Amino acid sequence: MGIKDLPEVDRPQKLRARGSQALSDAELLAVLIRTGTKGKSAVELAQARLEEAGPQLARGSGDDLALTRQLVEAGKILGIEVLDHSIVTKAGHTSLREEGYIP
């Protein structure tokens, strides 16, 4: 389902008009994903990711931790310090630096 297929009240302008509290977790994640793939909207991709992660999402999945390690290593090569990797959901948030995953 593409953006044009959504009811007007559920289109991306919903964030500006009604604020982040009006968006589902999938819609918030879709804002970061930005675009879908052939046959799947960004919201559908986000929903699938949320279902995969389940309750582990706010704490950081193995994929999140692996990505963080890769970003930190890539940053070292490029001379860029990774300050944090934050995971934010309506249920809470986690700082991977505070959790000790980023030195």
Identity of residue 22: A
CA diameter of the chain: 46
Question: pLDDT per residue over 48-103, tens digit each?
Answer: 877 766 655 556 667 778 888 898 999 999 999 999 988 877 667 788 888 888 88
Structure tokens at 82: 């990774």
Whole-number pLDDT of residue 73: 92
What are the sequence ranges of the domains in the chain?
3-55, 60-95
How far is Cα 42 from Cα 26, in angstroms, rounded to an integer?
A: 9
Whole-number pLDDT of residue 44: 86
- The pLDDT confidence band at residue 41, using thresholds 50, 70 and 90, is confident
